[in-house]
A = this chain, B = another copy of it.
Amino acid sequence: MRLAIIGLGRMGGNIARRLLSGGHEVVAYDRDPEARSNLAAAGAEVAGSLEETAIMLAPPRVFWVMLPAGAATENTISGLLELASPGDAIIDGGNTFFKDDIRRARVCGLKDVNYLDVGTSGGVWGLQRGYCLMIGGETPAVAALKPIWETLAPGLGTVPRTPDRGEADEDPRAELGYIHAGPAGAGHFVKMVHNGIEYGLMQAYAEGFDILKGRASERLPEDERFSLNLTDIAEVWRRGSVISSWLLDLSAAALAKDNMLEPFTGRVSDSGEGRWTVEAALEEAVPAHVLSAAVLARYRSRVDTTFADKLLSAMRYGFGGHVEIPQ
């Protein structure tokens, strides 16, 4: 198929490359000329503006927007909607909040433009491994783009088949690595929860290794202290243990490179999706203790001290004369 990729950063650039390798024709656009010429070198046709992008496609056009969530995506999609004709499709492949998708799909629908939201997991590895795709939108629009989904998704690969899958299966696409999750917003909703889970998993491993490391603490009785080799522990858990996973593989690699993780500041960003997952849980009254705690731990990692901590010190001073004041 022929389609446009708008936004040629780490994610968009690799998606364009994987589509090119899969035999698709890509019209590539980015505000940054260097990003454009990189893609030209990879075989894409390059556009100099959104307008030019639209002209270089024939209806029904397909625009895949791959930009940071927020103003960049919002403005680009508004711009594309101006240029779009009935039957065209606008795909938001970024990390948009699902309620924004619901709103946008309504607006696009007024012009008979199809709006699709595609949650895309796979990170910098997706170019080789393929991308796990969670798609929201109207069924005919999703079906029309099947060749694109099949190229981007990992495919059956070497993943062992899930037992009992045969009978329960409503949608064979899941085994190829993509799903049509539901109407507009559903794709990003599923991707959002994916990331919320990701935060929880990461925090579980991180706390576990912290406890392993802390076992060498001189605070402990001498015969209850261990000085453990975290690198080897991560490695051995990759083999036959219940907690093997790709995130553990990455942890093992990081520890193999530097078992103290010295280069990292430990000020951990969050992309918004962990927080939205917790907000969704709050809306639904789901008691998501672990997913919330994982988001809050990241918040705490980014400040030296909190006002809350100071107020605790102040109260302790108030009732017990405990001094937590620099002397």
Contacts and interface: CB of A to CB of B under 8 A. Distances in A.
Contacts of A167: 256
What is the interface residue range for chain A against chain B?
A: 35 or more
A72 interface: no
A298 interface: yes
Interface string A293-316: 111111111101111111111111
A309 B267 contact: yes
A207 B290 contact: yes
A101 B196 CA distance: 31
B290 A164 contact: no
A251 interface: yes
Contacts of A205: 197, 200-201, 311, 315
Contact of A311 (B209, B224, B240): B209
Contact of A197 (B208, B261, B265): B208
A191 to B, nearest CB: 9
Q: Name A's interface SS.
A: helix
A3 interface: no
Interface string A169-201: 111011111110111011001100110111111
Of A248, A259, A301, which is in contact with the most chain B CB atoms at under 10 Å from its CB?
A: A301
Contacts of A208: 193-194, 196-197, 200, 277, 291
A321 interface: yes
Contacts of A37: none
